[in-house]
């Protein structure tokens, strides 16, 4: 079931995690993510991009983009992940260098970087050192310790890797390219009244082939993906326009029936759309409240 992840600390790390995951585990979050794929076979769906990963692939994720890995169940799935609030970086550095280090996330947005052997070794070295000091740091203090220095080093290296032209379209089979076309169609039309015939006709595929291919490559069905995309768009609208009504957002993201929207939203977000909208509105008001001195 999809979810919106929340950080318990301004930065969290998982090193060489090999725990299995629930298939089609769609989720989104407001923080940034560094994802490094180390072992196994996995296709990763991020927004409107389908990525066929190979060990040594680095992914940068920005903000509320819906994403879901689909690893092979027959192989170990090993990955290292760093989640961080961008505001955390401004606690460690002055605004100008902090903004420079965040530039790859904000300009490239959800990019995959295949690292060559030498850069993989460097990535592994930095992650290992970060992991060694991760549990020893004072998580809520702004002091720059060993972990923080390694994290800043990682961001610096990411910036250098992103300075060169990045090709994130490699490793793709003909079937994966077809699924990418399906995803691109859904991205362009998700707010419309879509039926399977529309997609099949547009891409010159039969409905059974389209459905089976999409499920095999992504781990989910076409319409589960579509509903997740609509609900995630609703979360984004509530986050940035919390004054809007639920019915207005419901219509904009492609739901014809408010009851259907409310039921799916609650199943996916863990609360009703009205409760989610109120939470976003309270957060916005708190952030805009004048400071008392």
SS3 state at 276: helix
- In terms of domains, do 126 and 18 share one? yes
- In terms of domains, do 186 and 148 share one? no
Q: What is the pLDDT of residues 232-244, one digit of tens each?
A: 999 999 988 999 9
Tokens of 146: 């060993």
| pLDDT confidence band for 290 (50 / 70 / 90) | low
- In terms of domains, do 184 and 207 share one? yes
What is residue 221's predicted lDDT score, i.e. its pLDDT?
94
- In terms of domains, do 134 and 271 share one? no
- In terms of domains, do 53 and 123 share one? yes
Domain final position from 125, 142, 163: 163
Residue 81 exposure: Cα atoms within 13 Å on the Cβ side: 15
The CATH number given to whatever domain includes residue 256 is 1.10.10.60
Tell me whether residue 268 is in a domain.
Answer: yes
Tell me whether residue 290 is in a domain.
Answer: no
Q: What is the pLDDT of residues 5-33, one digit of tens each?
A: 556 789 999 999 999 887 656 777 778 99
Domain final position from 163, 183, 203: 163
Place of tokens 């509903």: 227
- In terms of domains, do 156 and 179 share one? no
Percentage, residues of the chain above pLDDT 90: 66
- In terms of domains, do 149 and 201 share one? no
Give the bridge partners for 59, in sequence order: 35, 112
Which pTM value belongs to this model?
0.76
Find the mean pLDDT for residues 249-271.
95
Q: Tell the burial category of 152 from Cβ atoms under 10 Å away from its Cβ (0-12, 13-18, 19+).
A: middle
Q: Domains in the chain: how many in total?
A: 2
- In terms of domains, do 192 and 262 share one? yes
Tell me whether residue 168 is in a domain.
Answer: no
What is residue 252's predicted lDDT score, i.e. its pLDDT?
97
Tokens of 197: 């015939």
Tell me whether residue 246 is in a domain.
Answer: yes
- Give the H or E element holding residue 282: helix 273-288
- In terms of domains, do 112 and 134 share one? yes
| pLDDT confidence band for 1 (50 / 70 / 90) | very low
Tell me whether residue 80 is in a domain.
Answer: yes
pLDDT of 88 over the 70 cut: yes
Query: What's the rounded Cα separation, in Å, for the pair 176 and 211?
Result: 13
Beta-carbon contacts of residue 56 (< 8 Å; ≥ 6 apart): 37, 38, 114, 115, 116, 117, 120
pLDDT of 53 over the 70 cut: yes
Query: What's the rounded Cα separation, in Å, for the pair 50 and 175?
Result: 11
Tell me whether residue 292 is in a domain.
Answer: no
What is residue 8's predicted lDDT score, i.e. its pLDDT?
75
- In terms of domains, do 209 and 179 share one? yes
- In terms of domains, do 251 and 212 share one? yes
Q: What is the pLDDT of residues 216-230, one digit of tens each?
A: 998 899 999 999 999
Tell me whether residue 74 is in a domain.
Answer: yes
Host domain of residue 237: 174-285
> Does 160 or 110 have the greater pLDDT score?
160
Q: What is the mean pLDDT of the chain?
A: 88
Place of tokens 């957060």: 283
The CATH number given to whatever domain includes residue 46 is 2.60.120.280
pLDDT of 291 over the 70 cut: no
Domain final position from 163, 186, 211: 163
Query: What's the rounded Cα separation, in Å, for the pair 92 and 97?
Result: 10
At residue 284, what are phi and psi to the nearest 5 degrees? -65, -40
Q: What is the pLDDT of residues 105-153, one digit of tens each?
A: 988 888 899 999 999 999 999 999 999 999 776 554 555 789 999 999 9
Q: Write out the DSSP string of 66-134.
A: -EEEEE-TTS--EEEEEEE-HHHHHHHS-HHHHHHHHHHHHHH-SEEEEPPHHHHHHHHHHHHHHHHHH
| pLDDT confidence band for 64 (50 / 70 / 90) | confident
> Does 152 or 173 have the greater pLDDT score?
152
Altogether, the residues listed in the chain come to a count of 293
Tell me whether residue 85 is in a domain.
Answer: yes
- In terms of domains, do 13 and 153 share one? yes
């Amino acid at each position: 079931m999809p979810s919106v992840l929340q950080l318990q600390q301004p930065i969290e790390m998982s090193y060489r995690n090999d725990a299995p995951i629930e298939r089609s585990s769609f989720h989104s979050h407001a923080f940034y993510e560094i994802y490094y794929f180390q072992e196994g076979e996995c296709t990763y769906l991020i927004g409107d991009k389908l990525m066929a990963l190979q060990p040594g692939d680095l992914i940068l994720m920005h903000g509320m983009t819906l994403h879901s890995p689909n690893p092979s169940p027959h192989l170990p799935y090993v990955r290292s992940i760093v989640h961080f609030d961008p505001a955390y970086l401004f606690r460690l550095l002055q605004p100008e260098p902090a903004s420079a280090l965040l530039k790859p996330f904000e300009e490239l947005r959800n990019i995959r970087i295949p690292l060559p052997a030498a850069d993989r070794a460097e990535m592994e070295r930095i992650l290992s050192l970060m992991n060694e000091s991760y549990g020893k740091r004072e998580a809520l203090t702004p002091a720059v310790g060993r972990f923080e220095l390694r994290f800043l080093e990682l961001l610096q290296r990411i910036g250098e890797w992103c300075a060169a032209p990045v090709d994130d379209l490699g490793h793709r089979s003909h079937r994966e390219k077809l699924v990418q076309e399906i995803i691109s169609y859904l991205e362009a039309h998700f707010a419309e009244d879509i039926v399977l015939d529309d997609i099949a006709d547009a891409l010159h595929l039969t409905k059974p082939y389209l459905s089976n291919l999409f499920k095999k490559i992504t781990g989910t069905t076409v319409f589960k993906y579509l509903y997740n995309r609509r609900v995630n768009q609703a979360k984004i609208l509530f986050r940035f326009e919390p004054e809007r009504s639920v019915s207005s957002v419901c219509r904009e993201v492609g739901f014809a029936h408010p009851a259907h929207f409310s039921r799916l939203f609650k199943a996916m977000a863990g609360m009703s759309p009205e409760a989610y909208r109120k939470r976003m509105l309270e957060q916005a008001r708190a952030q805009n409240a004048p400071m008392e001195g």
